[in-house]
Amino acid sequence: MKAKLAAIALTTLVTVNSAYAGGSQEVVLTSEVEWEQLNPARGDKSPQAGTLWGDRKGAVPTGFLAKFADGFSSPPHIHNVTYRAVVISGRIHNDDPDAAEMWMPAGSFWTQPKGEVHITAAKGATNVALVEIDRGPYLVLPPEEAFDSGERPINVDASNIVWVDPPGVTTSANGPKVAYLWGNLEDGQSIGTFVKLPAGFTGKIHSHGSTFRAVVVKGQPQYLGYDVKTLKPGSYFGSKGETVHQISSKAGEESIIYVRTDGKYEVVPVQ
């Protein structure tokens, strides 16, 4: 069975200051996502998939939403590529076929190594997860093609996520928080983190990397661009190059955002 892990140590990457920059930005609202069958071979029994960036059928980094019907349970299978995933809504179980059920709620994180036999199940009125791959195509293959890639899976329940203050910031119960999930910038990797914005937060996320991807996991933060867009869970915003994203959380409601990037970024609250 996969072990629950609290967090993975990463290079310090989040600070708070007053930097500002401009860059290429994009926003995809949940209402704009176009859905199709994730595994057409299963017909109506297939989960649905909606691309946020990239192309899961091509050889490029990709992020997509996977939507499962209540009571869905896949047959044992493998994938040709490793993926990472974040539960956006509902409860999802992902493990080897003989493992005890571990229903991960919204805000949980897991990884599925390529070649390993597993099942995926879901329960809840609405079950959605963000799935991301470093390189496609993303294929579903029979368990007879299983192989050991040397990678090991991880399941992190939302209750085991470890939140810390951004480095260099005075400890504050009401300030932005970060949780380190995977990767290490010092090793030349991209990295994945959660960012928690407190209720009523207004400020900026300043990206220094060449690519920045962010997906809302919890709350309904507002994206402040040429117009104001409300980002419901599953909504995506991203950029290329040095960029500032202006964002706020509603009063009385914190926001959690999953961030994947290949460079440092800063959370910049309005003083």
What CATH number is attached to the domain comprising 97? 2.60.120.10
pTM of this prediction exceeds 0.75: yes
Range of the domain at 90: 32-158
Which of 158, 190, 212 corresponds to the end of one domain? 158
Q: Do 256 and 171 fall within a single domain?
A: yes
Q: Over 70: is that where the pLDDT of 61 sits?
A: yes
Q: Which two tokens stand for residue 82?
A: 């490793």
Q: Which amino acid is at 124?
A: G
Same domain, 74 and 153: yes
Mean pLDDT of the chain: 89
Q: Which amino acid is at 216?
A: V
Q: Give pLDDT tens digits for 97-132.
A: 999 999 999 999 999 999 999 999 999 999 999 999
Among 139-153, 169-183, 227-241, 245-259, the range scoring the smallest mean pLDDT is: 169-183
Q: How far apart are CA 147 and CA 13, in angstroms?
A: 35
Residue 7 lies in a domain: no
The answer to whether position 2 is within a domain reads no
CB contact at 8 A, 261 and 208 = no
Asked if residue 8 is part of any domain, the answer here is no
What total of structural domains would you count in the chain?
A: 2
Would you list the DSSP string of 78-129? EESS-EEEEEEEEEEEEE-TTSPP--B-TT-EEEE-TT--BEEEEEEEEEEE
If asked whether residues 21 and 121 sit together in one domain, one would say no
- Report pLDDT digits (tens) over 236-267: 999 999 999 999 999 999 999 999 999 999 99
pLDDT bin (cut points 50, 70, 90) of residue 167 is low
Last residue of a domain, which of 158, 187, 219? 158
